[in-house]
Chains A and B, each alone.
Chain A
Amino acid sequence: MSSAQFVQYLIAGITSGSVYALVGLGFTIIYAVSKIINFAQGEFVMLGGLLSFTLIHSAGLPLIPALILSVIVAAAIGAAMYLLAIRPAKKASVVSLIIITIGAATFIRGMAGQELTKAFVRSPSFSGEQSISFLGAHIDPQALWIIGAMVLVTIIVHLFLTYTMVGKALKACAINPVASSLVGINPKTMALIAFVLASALGGIGGIVLAPLTPMSYQSGVMLGLKGFVAAAIGGFASPIAAVFGGLLLGIVENFAVAANWGPFTSSYKDAIALVVLLLILLVRSGKLAEEERAG
């Protein structure tokens, strides 16, 4: 592999890893606050992509308002999902709530196919198609937008959690929900904020990804799975760990395809995330069982 090829694959890995990171970040935030694994997480990336395409092409909105509106709508759908599907199931166990998220994911996917578009669509690039040369590699400018968006969003989420009262309340709720309610924090409000935040993160992933990779209403499934693996690599422990998990997965995926040897071909690209997930489960299963026993 030449150094130019190496750079090419590395940047491709970081690019797709950035989207996984955004999804994984959403998984981790919702899990921390509510112990729910939101399997609809990937659908919000799809929504971000399809909404921005529809707003630009069918509604004729200029790029920036279309992008902002797409994220807002994705976040609003996340809020609606929590308020209409999760919160009414008051005494349901966490497992039931997780199953509800799978149902919500199917519903969102179906509605998107019905109301937005059934075709594979690609939104216009943010800053032209002219590729940039960097250390011998050719980089689509949109890749830089994706990576930049991920870095910026991660920093904003970190600042939000560390330096605002709501952010601290979210953390407190994640550490000890009962104690947090005793200082006046409403765990349900925190869960709502977590869902809104996570779906906005997914939406942002979608609007930056759609100009690079064509998307359809079914694209959310695989993106959600990859984001889940990203969060699992990070142990569902901290947002930053999920971001690194996403980047790692993206890089591993692209280099495995680049090897083009044995099973490592592009047709198996999506299987790599599953192999990584199996490895994590093998390594962590002992630890998980211990945690389960500890309570």
Chain B
Amino acid sequence: MLRVEGVSVTYGRVTALREVSLVVNDGEIVTLIGSNGAGKTTLLNAITGVVPLKNGTVWLDDCRLSGLSSHKTVRLGVGYVPEGRQTFGAMSVKDNLTLGCYSQRGRNPLSTLGYVGWFLRHPSVQSNLETVFKLFPILKERQKQQAGSLSGGEQQMLAIGRALMSSPKILLLDEPSLGLAPNLVREILKLLIRLRDEGLTILLVEQDAAAALKVADRGYVMERGRITIEGKAKELLFDDRVRQAYLGKTVA
């Protein structure tokens, strides 16, 4: 599904990613763990075209993503839930979700110029909206509220919902658990398993390595811009290096 091949990114003179390669197969949850500043967010930004690559290529199936700007990678099927949620605070929940479908408007360009209601009447938009409301009933309840007035957890759901509205092939999530209460974190991780079981492919960046490895199929560990360890999530959970550095356990 997603192949990252030898990707390097620099910010000025600072090298943020060095020759990073990773693969996410169809229907997998792959997690990327590592400490702050290891380059996890940069890698997601590189895949989605938010930051330019210095070297390397990114493939989504047979489409080359590298070199495209972010509004184009969405259209090709990459859904991205960025760090800090980044919802449109001054707009309603429903508007946020509707805009999530913006990338699909290509089917009928006129519908973007016309009344929003006509756009919403589009069957694919309607079915996506129903799916999201089914996943997050609270968003349906609050659809007329301003996104900025939602709680942190609700905003995270909105950010995920907005990304799902674009019918992505793969969903990238950057620290969805950040700042959330433990029960909400569990709920969101459970949701990721459910989405995976329904056929979605997921690349999850997490600070909470233990939680991420429990839901993931495979994992990669990043340190200072490089992938240092990779393997099945179950194996990583018991890997001494991972346990010591990221799971806060001393090796007996």
Contact = CB atoms under 8 A, between A and B. Distances in A.
Given A171-B91, A175-B91, A183 B112 contact: no
Given A172-B99, A175-B91, A182 B115 contact: no
B128 interface: no
Contacts of B82: 178-179, 182
A186 interface: yes
Q: Most chain-B Cβ atoms within 10 A of its Cβ — which of A163, A165, A168, A186? A: A165
Interface string B79-97: 0101000111111000100
A76 interface: no
Given A168-B91, A183-B166, A185-B102, A163 B70 contact: no
Contacts of A179: 82, 86-88
A175 B90 CA distance: 7
Contacts of A166: 112-113
Q: Most chain-B Cβ atoms within 10 A of its Cβ — which of A163, A164, A178? A: A164
A184 B116 contact: no
Contacts of B12: none
B99 A182 contact: no
B220 interface: no
Interface in A178-198: 178-187
Contacts of A171: 88, 90-91
A171 B117 CA distance: 17
Interface residues of B, number: 35
A176 interface: yes
B142 interface: no
Contacts of A163: 115-117
Nearest to B48: A182
A165 B71 contact: no
A169 interface: yes
A274 B241 CA distance: 67
Contacts of B89: 175-176
A172 B113 CA distance: 15
B74 A175 contact: no
Contact of A169 (B48, B86, B102, B117): B102
Contacts of B162: 183
A181 B72 CA distance: 8
A165 B111 contact: yes
Q: Most chain-A Cβ atoms within 10 A of its Cβ — which of B71, B86, B114? A: B71
Interface in B84-141: 86-91, 95, 98-100, 102-105, 111-117, 119
Closest 3 CB pairs of A and B: A184-B103, A179-B86, A165-B112
15 contacts: A165-B98, A165-B105, A165-B112, A165-B114, A165-B119, A168-B95, A168-B116, A171-B90, A176-B86, A181-B74, A182-B80, A182-B86, A184-B102, A185-B99, A185-B102
Interface of B: 48, 50, 69-71, 74-75, 80, 82, 86-91, 95, 98-100, 102-105, 111-117, 119, 162-163, 165-166
Given A175-B88, A179-B88, 15 more contacts: A164-B115, A165-B112, A168-B116, A171-B91, A172-B99, A175-B89, A176-B88, A178-B50, A178-B86, A182-B50, A182-B86, A183-B165, A184-B74, A184-B75, A184-B166
Interface of A: 163-166, 168-169, 171-172, 175-176, 178-187
